[in-house]
Amino acid sequence: MTSVATVIGDLVGSRTKSDRAKVHEAFAAAIEKINREWRPVTPLRITVGDEYQGAFETVGAALQATFRLRIALDPVVGVRHGIGWGATRVLRDDPRVEDGPGWWSARAAIEAAEAAENKAATRGVRTWYQPAEETGGPGPAAVNAALISRDELYSRLDRSSVSVLSGMLSAMSQKAMADELDITPSAVSQRVRRDGIAVIVRADELLGEVR
């Protein structure tokens, strides 16, 4: 069995949406885009209801890809992610069924994310990382400290600032972002500094280096 960065994701509050068909249409399109651009080891796929799973070569790639999925779905629905690290094995190909410590750790991680979200001090948390004990992997303490900080800053952004963040992560120029949002480049710069967007982008870069 090979160790990979496993992902279990879940939509947050989707059952309260009046147009669930629209939610799932956006959901499927966002997952398809992530699979196309990030080429995970096991492509993200919707499993049961509002849950989805996939696996990446590194923890950093999983953290970056799932954050972009969250941003893409932000206008429609919230998401929660558990990132694991460990060995996996394929039990059946059609339909694909996988098992192993990597998936167990991802399940523990998403449960930890939900538990953190239910506490006042960590209400902004939407992602947690947990390696399987027997396979080592990057240490969880520093990674989760960064995720708590990133998610808290992200939770404070309004829709326009999320658009600026998305543009920066896509390497758009500030002028292009300004034109898209119908604001001045100076207003974009102010949002980047005032809202902590530059900090989020730098955290994303460093998290992407986690192996």
Q: Which two tokens stand for residue 30?
A: 């966002």
The mean pLDDT value for 62-82 works out to 96
> What SS3 state is found at 184?
coil
15 alpha-carbon distance from chain centroid: 20
Query: Can you give the pLDDT at residue 28?
Result: 93
> What CA–CA distance (Å, rounded) separates 58 from 202?
18
The single-letter code of the amino acid at 54 is G
Write the pLDDT tens digit of every residue in 39-49: 999 999 998 87
> What CA–CA distance (Å, rounded) separates 82 from 34?
17
Positive or negative, the CA dihedral 137, 139, 142, 143 is positive
> What CA–CA distance (Å, rounded) separates 105 from 32?
24
Q: Is the pLDDT of residue 94 over 80?
A: no
Write the pLDDT tens digit of every residue in 134-193: 767 789 999 999 999 999 999 999 999 999 999 999 999 989 999 999 999 999 999 999
Write the pLDDT tens digit of every residue in 101-147: 999 999 999 999 999 999 999 999 999 999 997 767 789 999 999 99
pTM for the model: 0.93
Question: What backbone torsions phi and psi does residue 198 show, to the nearest 5 degrees?
Answer: -60, -35
